[in-house]
Structure 1
Amino acid sequence: MTRTTPPRPLDLAAVFPELATMSRNVTRLHPRSGSPGVEDSSVGGPLLWPRDEPWPTCTKSHEVYEVVDLDAVRAAHHATVARWSRSEDEPSTPEEEAIYDRSKPKKVDSPHTDPVPLLPVAQLYARDVPGLPTPDGADLLQILWCPFMDHEDDMPAIRVRWRRADEVTAGLSPAPEPSVIELEDYWPAPCVLHPEQVTEYPDLNQLPAAVGARVHAWQEETGHHYTEFAVAPGWKTGGWGVVSSDEPDCADPPRCACGAVTEPLFTVGPGEWNGNNRGGWRPVEDADADDRHCYPPVGGATKIDLGDEQLQIYRCPESCEHPPVIVRVYQTL
């Protein structure tokens, strides 16, 4: 099923002509629970990975003293998806409760120091994602991360891999995976995607001061909310970056080590609607959907829950060989 963002309540550029040149295309990915294959764009699905190419690992220090079993997390997710088909008030069965118990965190005696296989986060084929900035003839973007988020630099270990799908003649199956992860919220559950390109505007704190003041006054006078136009929530590619609610003055995009101003490539957002007047981003096909599918604290279909943070991956426009810039942003929806 396609997903369609409702039309915006008005033409914002007609109200503020200065914003006409500040609009950007963004592709909302709309992940929903499914069973994607290696030939599909997905979140948490299997990657089209060459058999003769080493699977990436994280070798950073992982001082983690509590972990969860990945197989147990996977089983608990399947039980939860099954419950989505029943009434929210219907209690879990004893069998489901036993599955949930096995997925609870357990103490470990020492830090987890061995190299950790990365988890597949997303696979995006250019044919499915409008505007995906594929470099050098590549047509496939793959993103993986370490299931232990807390490293010495407070940044998750993330790998971004571009490739040409037709060059993978023999795929790796099954892919290596860790036996335990830090939190169940860091395991991306398999989801199919329903990409949709829409228009968004920058965060209010990214606007020129004079325009921002006018927008503030306009909100007070009309009751409209600028968040209905700016920085679409959820999982997406491109568009504008999110500005931290704690540091609104830090609105400039990060720079690559080469000095170039980076561009948003991929965003892991908590929910697609609700909270802080963002209900207008809710797809029309989900008008009657249960919020358990698409909004924290359960992480929605992807299961990913980073709390009040969004995770953004920025790319260097000068070279795809330059490491991506990772930003964790505190943002309340």
Structure 2
Amino acid sequence: MTRTTPPRPLDLAAVFPELAGLSRSVTRLHSRSGMPTVGDSSVGGPLLWPQEEPWPTCTRSHEVYEVVELEAVRAEYRLMVARSSRPEDEWPTPEEQAILERSDPKMIPSPYTDPVPLLPVAQLYARDVPGLPCPEGADLLQILWCPFIDHDDGIPAIHVCWRSAGQVTALLSPLPEPPVIEREDYWPAPCVLHPEQVSEYPAPPQLPAEVRARVDAWQEDTGRYYIQFAVAPGWKIGGWGAVPSDGDYGNPPRCGCGAVTAPLFTIGLGEWNGGDEGGWRPLEDADADERRCYPAVGDGPMIDLGDEQLQIYYCPQSYEHPPVTVRVYQTL
């Protein structure tokens, strides 16, 4: 099923004519719980990975004293999906309670020191995702991360790979994976995608100073929040990005070569915020009963990074340069 963002309830360019030239295309991924294959664009699904290519690992320091078994996380997920269609009074059975207890975090005696196979986060085929940045000859973007999120520098270890899908003949199987992860919130639940390209405007700190002043005055006068109309929430490709939690406030980070990077991929929060005036909830999900859905509609991957999002940037000068990852938030 396609997903369609409703017409914007407010024309920001009419209120602030200076925005007319600042609109950027962004692709909302609209991740929904499903069973993707290696041939699908997905979040949390299996990757089309060549048999002869080593699977990436993380060898950085992991200050982790508590872990949860990955298979237990999966078992709890399957249980909760099944439970969402059952009456409350039939929950849980003794067998189901055992699954829940098994998925509780377990203490370990010291920081986790073993090399960690990375977990698939996303696989995006250019045929499915409008505006997907790809080097010449490539048509597939794959993103993985370390399931021990808080490293010594506070930034998750991210691996980005572009490849030509047609050149992958023999597949790596089974795909390597870590036996334990830091938290169940760091396992991307498998999702199929319904990409949709829309437009967004810069967040307030990214606006020219005089426009930001006008936005601030408008917000105070109207009681409305500019960002609810300007910035597409959720998991997305491209666009304006967001505002780094640290570093050069309001500006994109720079590559190690000195070039200004461009937004590649956002691991966002939910696709909409309840009764958010901005109207980002897709028309097809207008009548969905979120109380009876697991995962919740609009939050299929179930990744929880607190109040922050994760933004991955690439270097326009060379796709071979390492990506830059920052923690970001959206400010009013």
Q: Report if TM-score (shorter chain) is over 0.5.
A: yes
Deviation larger for 29-38 or 247-256: 247-256
Amino acid at match of 2:322: P
1:241-276 superposed Cα distances (whole Å, 9 cap, x missing partner): 2125x6697001100010100010000011111169
Deviation larger for 187-196 or 82-91: 82-91
Structure 2: how far apart are the matches of 1:125 and 1:167? 14
Pairing of 1:313-332 with structure 2 (within 5 A): 313-331=312-330
1:70-117 superposed Cα distances (whole Å, 9 cap, x missing partner): 000000011111123345787444333221111010011222211110
Q: Are 1:240 and 2:240 an aligned pair?
A: yes
Pairing of 1:207-218 with structure 2 (within 5 A): 207-218=207-218
Partners of 1:71 and 1:179 within 8 A in 2: yes
Task: Report the counterpart of residue 261 of structure 2 in structure 1.
Answer: 262
Deviation larger for 91-100 or 167-176: 91-100
Partners of 1:23 and 1:201 within 8 A in 2: yes
Pairing of 1:164-313 with structure 2 (within 5 A): 164-244=164-244, 250-274=249-273, 277=276, 280-291=279-290, 300-313=299-312
Partners of 1:45 and 1:190 within 8 A in 2: yes
Deviation larger for 257-266 or 94-103: 94-103
Amino acid at match of 2:264: L
Partners of 2:46 and 2:120 within 8 A in 1: yes
Q: CA deviation at 1:13?
A: 1.5
Partners of 1:205 and 1:249 within 8 A in 2: no
Partners of 2:34 and 2:192 within 8 A in 1: yes
Structure 2: how far apart are the matches of 1:294 and 1:319? 40
Structure 2: how far apart are the matches of 1:243 and 1:121? 22
Structure 2: how far apart are the matches of 1:37 and 1:23? 34
Task: Report the counterpart of residue 37 of structure 2 in structure 1.
Answer: 37
Structure 1 residues 89 and 38: CA distance shift in structure 2, 3 A: same
Structure 1: how far apart are the matches of 2:89 and 2:233? 29
Task: Report the counterpart of residue 27 of structure 1 in structure 2.
Answer: 27
Structure 1: how far apart are the matches of 2:78 and 2:268? 22
1:141-186 superposed Cα distances (whole Å, 9 cap, x missing partner): 0000001112112111110000000000111111000000011100
Q: Secondary structure at the match of 2:96?
A: helix
Q: CA deviation at 1:294?
A: 8.6
Calculate the TM-score normalised by the size of structure 1: 0.93
Q: CA deviation at 1:331?
A: 4.4
Partners of 2:310 and 2:325 within 8 A in 1: yes
Pairing of 1:8-87 with structure 2 (within 5 A): 8-86=8-86
Structure 2: how far apart are the matches of 1:109 and 1:181? 15
Amino acid at match of 1:271: G
Q: CA deviation at 1:126?
A: 0.3
Partners of 2:31 and 2:299 within 8 A in 1: no
Structure 1 residues 88 and 252: CA distance shift in structure 2, 3 A: farther
Report percent identity of matched pairs.
Answer: 74
Q: Which runs of 4+ in 1 moved over 6 A?
A: 246-249
- Unaligned runs of at least 5 residues, structure 1: none
Q: CA deviation at 1:224?
A: 4.1
1:37-95 superposed Cα distances (whole Å, 9 cap, x missing partner): 00000000000000000000011122211100000000001111112334578744433
Calculate the TM-score normalised by the size of structure 2: 0.93
Structure 2: how far apart are the matches of 1:286 and 1:299? 8
Q: Secondary structure at the match of 2:217?
A: helix
Structure 1 residues 163 and 99: CA distance shift in structure 2, 3 A: same
Amino acid at match of 1:170: A
RMSD: 2.3
